[in-house]
Amino acid sequence: MTLTKRDLVISISEETGLIQAQVFNVVQKTLDQIAQVLADGGKVELRNFGVFEVKIRKARVGRNPNRPEKDVPIPARAMVKFKAGKDMRAEVLKLPSTEMAH
Protein backbone atom coordinates (compact mmCIF):
# COMPACT_ATOMS: atom_id res chain seq x y z
CA MET A 1 0.00 0.00 0.00
CA THR A 2 1.21 3.48 -0.85
CA LEU A 3 -0.13 6.58 0.86
CA THR A 4 -0.08 9.65 -1.37
CA LYS A 5 -0.45 13.27 -0.34
CA ARG A 6 -3.92 13.22 -1.89
CA ASP A 7 -4.88 10.14 0.18
CA LEU A 8 -3.64 11.90 3.30
CA VAL A 9 -5.64 15.05 2.52
CA ILE A 10 -8.84 13.09 1.84
CA SER A 11 -8.47 11.03 5.01
CA ILE A 12 -7.81 14.06 7.24
CA SER A 13 -10.65 15.96 5.58
CA GLU A 14 -13.08 13.12 6.25
CA GLU A 15 -11.91 12.73 9.87
CA THR A 16 -12.01 16.44 10.72
CA GLY A 17 -14.78 17.76 8.50
CA LEU A 18 -12.41 20.40 7.13
CA ILE A 19 -12.54 21.29 3.44
CA GLN A 20 -9.97 19.37 1.38
CA ALA A 21 -8.42 22.61 0.11
CA GLN A 22 -7.79 23.73 3.72
CA VAL A 23 -6.27 20.38 4.64
CA PHE A 24 -4.14 20.40 1.48
CA ASN A 25 -2.78 23.85 2.38
CA VAL A 26 -1.85 22.74 5.90
CA VAL A 27 -0.24 19.50 4.69
CA GLN A 28 1.68 21.32 1.95
CA LYS A 29 2.87 24.08 4.32
CA THR A 30 4.02 21.39 6.77
CA LEU A 31 5.99 19.59 4.07
CA ASP A 32 7.41 22.89 2.80
CA GLN A 33 8.60 23.80 6.32
CA ILE A 34 10.24 20.39 6.79
CA ALA A 35 11.97 20.65 3.39
CA GLN A 36 13.19 24.21 4.11
CA VAL A 37 14.66 23.33 7.50
CA LEU A 38 16.48 20.36 5.95
CA ALA A 39 17.67 22.47 3.01
CA ASP A 40 19.13 24.91 5.55
CA GLY A 41 21.04 22.02 7.15
CA GLY A 42 18.71 21.74 10.15
CA LYS A 43 17.03 18.83 11.85
CA VAL A 44 13.29 18.11 12.17
CA GLU A 45 12.20 16.18 15.23
CA LEU A 46 8.60 15.01 15.42
CA ARG A 47 8.13 13.29 18.79
CA ASN A 48 6.98 9.67 18.58
CA PHE A 49 7.14 9.86 14.77
CA GLY A 50 10.81 10.31 13.96
CA VAL A 51 13.70 12.58 13.13
CA PHE A 52 14.74 13.89 9.73
CA GLU A 53 18.28 15.19 9.43
CA VAL A 54 20.89 15.93 6.80
CA LYS A 55 24.00 13.74 6.79
CA ILE A 56 26.97 14.13 4.50
CA ARG A 57 27.99 10.95 2.71
CA LYS A 58 31.74 10.72 2.26
CA ALA A 59 33.30 10.73 -1.17
CA ARG A 60 34.11 7.22 -2.28
CA VAL A 61 35.17 5.14 -5.24
CA GLY A 62 32.51 3.11 -7.02
CA ARG A 63 32.73 0.37 -9.59
CA ASN A 64 30.85 0.03 -12.86
CA PRO A 65 29.79 -3.64 -13.04
CA ASN A 66 30.19 -3.54 -16.82
CA ARG A 67 33.75 -2.19 -16.57
CA PRO A 68 35.08 -3.22 -13.11
CA GLU A 69 38.63 -2.24 -14.04
CA LYS A 70 37.62 1.44 -14.15
CA ASP A 71 37.17 3.38 -10.90
CA VAL A 72 34.22 5.76 -10.74
CA PRO A 73 34.71 8.60 -8.26
CA ILE A 74 31.54 9.40 -6.31
CA PRO A 75 31.68 12.86 -4.70
CA ALA A 76 30.58 13.64 -1.15
CA ARG A 77 26.95 14.71 -0.98
CA ALA A 78 24.23 15.64 1.45
CA MET A 79 21.52 13.04 2.12
CA VAL A 80 18.31 13.21 4.12
CA LYS A 81 18.18 10.49 6.77
CA PHE A 82 15.09 9.45 8.72
CA LYS A 83 15.14 7.67 12.04
CA ALA A 84 11.79 6.32 13.15
CA GLY A 85 10.53 7.32 16.57
CA LYS A 86 9.79 4.83 19.34
CA ASP A 87 6.04 4.60 18.70
CA MET A 88 6.39 4.19 14.93
CA ARG A 89 9.15 1.63 15.31
CA ALA A 90 6.98 -0.38 17.72
CA GLU A 91 4.05 -0.38 15.26
CA VAL A 92 6.23 -1.40 12.32
CA LEU A 93 7.78 -4.24 14.32
CA LYS A 94 4.28 -5.72 14.69
CA LEU A 95 4.21 -6.45 10.93
CA PRO A 96 5.01 -10.03 10.04
CA SER A 97 8.07 -10.15 7.82
CA THR A 98 6.11 -12.11 5.19
CA GLU A 99 3.91 -9.04 4.48
CA MET A 100 6.94 -7.03 3.44
CA ALA A 101 7.91 -9.56 0.75
CA HIS A 102 5.06 -8.42 -1.53
Domain assignment present for 81: yes
Domain assignment of residue 14, given as a range: 1-40
Q: What is the pTM of this model?
A: 0.74
Give per-residue pLDDT as tens, 66-78: 887 888 889 999 9
Looking at the structure, tell me whether residues 58 and 16 fall in a common domain: no
How many domains does the chain contain in total?
A: 2
C-alpha span between 44 and 86 (Å, rounded):
15
Question: Are 75 and 60 in the same domain?
Answer: yes
For the stretch 30-64, pLDDT in tens is 999 999 999 999 999 999 899 999 999 999 988 88
